[in-house]
Amino acid sequence: MEKKKKISPFLIIIISFVSVILIGTILLLLPFATKEGIRLGFVDALFMSSSSVCVTGLVSTTTSIADTYTLFGQIVIYVLIEIGGLGFVNISMFVLYLLGLRINQADRFLLRESLNLDSTKGILKLLRATFLISFCIQLLGAIGNFFIFRNDFPTDKAIWISIFHAGSAFNNAGLDVIGSNSLIPYKGHLLLNLNTMALIILGGIGFIVIYEIFLYPKTKRLSIHTKIVLKMTLLLLVLGTVLLKITEGSAMTWLQAAFQSATARTAGFSTYDFSKISLPGALIFCFLMYIGASPAGTGGGIKTTTFFTATKYIGSFARGTRPITHNREISKTSVSKAFVLIVLSIVYLAMIVLFVSVIEQLNTASEDADLIKIMFETLSAFSTVGNSEGITPTLHWVSKILISATMLIGRLGPITIISLLNRRWNKEGTEPVSYLEENIIIG
């Protein structure tokens, strides 16, 4: 009897994201999804759906979400953000868990890949904690938002804005239903800035880290992963704040610098007009966007642990020592995975910037789309940040398709895409044949 061929979990994850994006596109194309007098084309609806599911925050129209979409359309976007942030696979498994249905080993392996974990041990407990933590944090964030927005909007609208903003911030989406100026009108509002930053950081550090912090009073221990994530998050937040303040000078307050340093790590909210950002400031922002959030979180980028592993290995290679952290040697597998991810992401980004640059050179509608702005926009899409220098609405439809694809690849991660070639994903152990090593001349 022929053995039934199993479908790769990486393919299932990709298909689930693409399916949700297409469903979201169809819903946003419905006449009652947009306000009277506004009709979206397929590409713009696809772009908006991709931006929501991939929790990116880029908008392809010149008008804001609040001015473009009806309440129905805004609810669709909010649901897409939640699905994109938590993951369709995770949500599906959680529903099965709530219904008391059996989750077999294949499902657990799929869940492991979706959460970017190394083991299936305790994975259902983590899944349950993920949704409970997500709900509680977003609820507290929404309550905090309400006390701010109720002063500027009617009660019912303030409630909706508070819920949407909390979900968008925690899932690092960067989309809002406030108005056309994002959070710039609230650039000096300390409570809203701190509340939003807290939601962004909590969503970005990952559910594993939050779970361990929650259990810390009982366990009195943190894993090396959690320690690295917390240290890198604090380092990048402080470093980004100082550098942005230095480059932008008096044009940016310390509060704005701190907020943008936090939001650069894949959130996309803005209290600063990015059309006025300096070239050094834009490059610093690109650096922060590229690193992004942390594994098992709601953000994108190459991730803090990848950057940490690569820099740690480069430092140890320069000294002629082994890569040691917290009295542990970083595995060769981790080092290889980190450098594969970095190389793949750089090559992909270079290709997309090149293609978009060629397309926009022929596009008379986007005269302001120079190389730096295209690079900024592409990196913002790949790292699922959503900050923009304002050229997205004027991009050619082919460029918008490329940027949409970049959002998806950035959300899934290049490793997930290339793992489709892995035919041994469900096989344990090493390769059946060992080969003699050969030193290849490098450099």
What's the pLDDT score for residue 432? 59
CB 388, CB 378: distance < 8 Å: no
Whole-number Å distance between alpha carbons of 350 and 343? 11
Torsion of CA 265, 175, 30, 53, to 10 degrees: 20
Whole-number Å distance between alpha carbons of 295 and 336? 16
CB 169, CB 203: distance < 8 Å: yes
Q: What is the chain's alpha carbon radius of gyration, rounded to the nearest angstrom?
A: 22
CB 410, CB 380: distance < 8 Å: no
What's the pLDDT score for residue 180? 63
Residue 354 CB contacts under 8 Å (≥ 6 apart), including other chains = none
Whole-number Å distance between alpha carbons of 209 and 298? 12
Tokens at 258, concatenated = 């701190």
**DSSP H or E segment with residue 325:** strand 324-325
- Alpha carbons within 13 A on the beta-carbon side of 7: 9
What's the pLDDT score for residue 363? 73
Whole-number Å distance between alpha carbons of 159 and 91? 25
Q: Write the pLDDT tens digit of every residue in 93-151.
A: 888 777 777 777 777 777 777 776 767 777 888 888 888 888 999 999 999 999 999 98
CB 179, CB 64: distance < 8 Å: yes
What's the pLDDT score for residue 158? 93
Residues β-bridged to residue 76: none
CB 240, CB 261: distance < 8 Å: yes
CB 126, CB 207: distance < 8 Å: yes
Taking alpha carbons only, the member of 430, 426, 421 closest to residue 340 is: 421
Beta strands in 371-430 (DSSP E): none
Whole-number Å distance between alpha carbons of 102 and 132? 20
Tokens at 208, concatenated = 């594993």
Taking alpha carbons only, the member of 119, 38, 37, 24 closest to residue 75 is: 24
Residues β-bridged to residue 325: 328
Pairing of strands 324-325, 328-329: antiparallel
Q: Write the pLDDT tens digit of every residue in 219-244.
A: 888 999 999 999 999 999 999 999 99
Whole-number Å distance between alpha carbons of 259 and 285? 12
What's the pLDDT score for residue 178? 85
CB 247, CB 282: distance < 8 Å: no
Measured N-to-C along each axis, helices 105-114 and 123-149 cross at an angle, to the nearest 10 degrees, of: 40
User: Which 8-state DSSP code applies to residue 432?
Assistant: S
What's the pLDDT score for residue 84? 86
Cα 282 to the chain's mean position, in Å? 19
pLDDT mean by block of 10 residues, the chain; 443 residues: 60 85 93 86 89 82 79 93 84 80 75 72 81 91 93 92 92 82 83 92 88 88 92 94 92 92 83 83 89 83 92 92 89 90 92 91 69 86 81 85 89 76 56 69 71
What's the pLDDT score for residue 87? 81
List phi, psi (to 5°) of 325.
Answer: -145, 130
What's the pLDDT score for residue 431? 54
Whole-number Å distance between alpha carbons of 258 and 46? 33
